[in-house]
Amino acid sequence: MTATALTTVESDGRVRCGWIDESRLAPADFVLYRDYHDNEWGRPVHDSAALFERISLEAFQSGLSWLIILRKRDGFRRAFHKFDVERIARYTDRDVERLMADTGIVRNRAKIEATIANARAVADLDVDLGELLWSFAPPDRATRPRPADLSAVPAVSPESTAMAKELKRRGFRFVGPTTAYALMQATGMVDDHTADCWVPRS
C-alpha cells in the first residue's frame, strides 16, 4: 500500500494507516477502504480458496489502484465463479473472450490468462496452497514491532522474493516480489498496520 499521509484520524475518531484517508476519498470509496482496512487487511487468511482469490486480485491490481479492485470485487467474484480453482482451471478461449467483454472486471488479457494459469498451477500443487504460502511468513510475524509509520513499510522483502521465485517455479504468473509482499500484507503473513493504528493484532 502507498499513501500520501503517514497516519490519519478519521471522523469516527479512530487512527488508521495513512493509505486510508477520508479527506481524499468520495464517501462510498471511503467506506470500501475503511471496511477493508478495518476488517480484512492484515488479518490472517489460511483457507486455500480465499488465498487464491487474494492472489488473483493482487495480480489484477498490479499497476492499478487497489480501490479499483475493491470497486469491482463483486464483479470479479461473479465473472470468475467465486474463484473456484477447479472450474477456472477448465476455462477455455471462450471464457477468456467472455471475460474480456465483462465490464465488471479489469479487462486485461494477460492478467485474465494469468489467473487461469494460476488456477491450473494450484490444481497441480502437491501441497495445500495455504501451507505453501504461509511457509514464507516471517517467523516473528506475531511479535515483531509494527512499523512506526508507512515510510518504514517495505515494498518487498526477502520472504516475498523467495515466495515469488517458488510460485514462478510452480507455474504461477503475475506474482512477482512486490505482488507477493502485497499478498503477505493483505493476508496477515506480515502485520504492517502502523504502530498507532487502532486495528488490534490478530
Task: For residue range 160-172, list pLDDT tens digits in order.
Answer: 999 999 999 999 9
Domain range 48-186, CATH class: mainly alpha
- Write the DSSP string, 136-174: TS-TTTTTSPPPSSGGG--S--HHHHHHHHHHHHTT--S
- Domain-by-domain residue ranges, the chain? 7-39, 48-186
Q: CA geometry: angle at 166 spanning 117 and 89, to 5°? A: 20
User: Measured between alpha carbons, how far is 99 from 41 in angstroms, rounded to an integer?
Assistant: 27
Mean pLDDT of the chain: 93
Query: What amino acid is encoded at 193 in this protein?
Result: H
What is the tens place of the pLDDT at every residue in 99-118? 999 999 999 999 999 999 99
16, containing H or E segment: strand 15-17
- Predicted confidence at residue 150, as pLDDT, reads 86
Please list the residues that pair with 8 across neighbouring strands: 16
Catalytic residue among 58, 91, 159, 181: 58
134, containing H or E segment: helix 129-134
Would you state the cell numbers that stand for residue 46, as one nine-digit string? 489460511
Of 115, 109, 55, residue with least CA distance to 90: 115
What is the tens place of the pLDDT at every residue in 41-82? 999 999 999 999 999 999 999 999 999 999 999 999 999 999
Catalytic residue among 66, 91, 134, 181: 66
Of 32, 40, 117, residue with least CA distance to 70: 32
Report the largest interatomic distance among the alpha carbons of the chain, rounded to a whole angstrom: 50
Is 58 a catalytic site residue?
A: yes
Question: For the chain, what's the residue count?
Answer: 202
Is 36 a catalytic site residue?
A: yes
- Residue 174, sorted as left (phi over 0), alpha (psi -120 to 50) or beta, turns out to be left
Residue 59 vs residue 142, higher pLDDT? 59
Tell me which DSSP letter residue 37 carries.
H
User: Measured between alpha carbons, how far is 129 from 186 in angstroms, rounded to an integer?
Assistant: 16
Please list the residues that pair with 17 across neighbouring strands: 7
Catalytic residue among 36, 40, 113, 198: 36
Query: What amino acid is encoded at 184 in this protein?
Result: M
